[in-house]
Amino acid sequence: MFMFNPAISEAENSLSFSSSTVPFTLGNNIAQLARLVPGKSIPLPFYSYKVPAGFRSPAEDHIELSLDVNEHCIQHPAATFMVRVSGHCMTGLGIYDNDMLIVDRSVEAVPGKVVIAVVDGELTVKQLLQDKTGKMMLCPANPDYAPIALSPDSEVTILGVVAHVIRSL
């Protein structure tokens, strides 16, 4: 059975945990799941000048506007949650061990999107792809891992689409 975007409570039931705000460990791919709670906005200064990633350039010291990271990264607060990555299956797409992912349940999971899915009771982060015959697959972005073919008999639930990656340096 292939399901798309259940309510968080439905996902909790299929994963056998009760609190969506307490970290848990399940499988080897995702270490934490947390629901984002809309709260106080914290606008941060946003410099209009683009920082070159190559040659040095004179800095511009004026702030064009304030940017609220919540507003920038969270389009649908009621449908958004976060997970922490555990593992290396998505390194080819710039998703690394211990990264945090902002996941939006209201975005349609179409081929090419990176999704959070429950496969046979375990969470995973994979890219949803469609092969030339039209079959859907959950594909890693690392050749050391195998894709997961989806069939009508597959026990798969797509929880949401990854909207942003947060990484500490």
Over the stretch 150-166, which tens digit does the pLDDT of each residue have?
Answer: 888 888 999 999 999 99
Over the stretch 102-142, which tens digit does the pLDDT of each residue have?
Answer: 999 999 999 999 999 998 888 999 999 999 998 999 999 99
Q: Would you state the pLDDT for residue 36?
A: 46
What is residue 140's three-state secondary structure? coil
Which secondary-structure segment (H or E) carries 32?
A: strand 30-35
pTM of this structure: 0.68
Q: Domain extents for the chain?
A: 2-37+76-166
- Residue with structure tokens 């949803």? 128
Per-residue pLDDT, averaged over 27-50, amounts to 50
Q: Would you state the pLDDT for residue 69?
A: 79
Over the stretch 85-106, which tens digit does the pLDDT of each residue have?
Answer: 999 999 999 999 999 999 999 9
- Tell me the C-alpha distance between 38 and 70, whole Å: 9
Give, in words, the CATH class of 2-37+76-166: mainly beta
Q: Would you state the pLDDT for residue 1?
A: 45
